[in-house]
Amino acid sequence: MFWSFALLAAGLLLIIVEFFVPSGGVLAIASGLTLVGSIVVGFSVSPRWGMIMVVMVAVIVPVVLGMTVRLWPRTPMGRSIMARQPGDPLPDVLPDDDFHRKIKSLQGRVGVAASDMLPNGTIKIDGEKFDAVSSGGVIDRGQNVEVFRVDSGKLHVRATSRPVEENRGRIEPPGSPLDQPIEQLGIDSLEDPLA
């Protein structure tokens, strides 16, 4: 009976060590063999002890595995293998182009719902339309909305009583060079090219 419990304890210890020491599965195989050995030794004592060992292995092994899997990401080896820890926010991996920079700059802005938001819909800020998601229920067309979060390129809005701020931070595109006099462009006269 003592050897049956000793083999059970050794098998559980080998399961735990397998998660923290890279062995290529050798420790897992050794753990499985010791757990089977504990059951065999239990049956050699009596059928009753054998069944007790089967039940103990069936109950204790999943509990130990679950605890080990939950603790593993917090170990030095787990932190070095995992790119991010459980509970860390997902990084924003959107491209850094003009469109996505503009989307990110809309956080905190107030616009108008251009369609009924059920919860998806369209909003209008500075005369441009953007797809958005309502986070506070249905928002009727024409109601003021505030962009409170930009997540993975998606605008999350909620109804607000704040007034719409037109053209806040908006840069007007420069006029066409064709609309400006040639003297302002610094180009020599084209009337006598050989002069």
pLDDT for 158 equals 92
- Encode pLDDT of 159-189 as tens digits: 998 888 765 554 444 556 666 666 666 666 6
Q: Which of 36-50, 64-78, 149-163 has the highest mean pLDDT?
A: 36-50
pLDDT for 194 equals 67
Q: Are strands 154-159 and 144-151 parallel, antiparallel or unpaired?
A: antiparallel
The answer, yes or no, to whether residue 104 has pLDDT greater than 60, is yes
The answer, yes or no, to whether residue 94 has pLDDT greater than 80, is no
Tell me how far apart the alpha carbons of residues 163 and 165 are, in angstroms, rounded to a whole number. Answer: 6
Rounded to an integer, the average pLDDT of 117-146 is 90
Average pLDDT, the chain: 82
Q: Are strands 120-125 and 128-134 parallel, antiparallel or unpaired?
A: antiparallel
pLDDT for 24 equals 85
- The angle subtended at Cα 133 by Cα 130 and Cα 122, nearest 5°, is 35
Instruction: Identify the H or E element spanning 182.
Output: helix 182-185
pLDDT for 61 equals 93
pLDDT for 46 equals 92
The answer, yes or no, to whether residue 101 has pLDDT greater than 90, is no
Least confident of 84-88, 107-111, 116-120, 149-153: 84-88
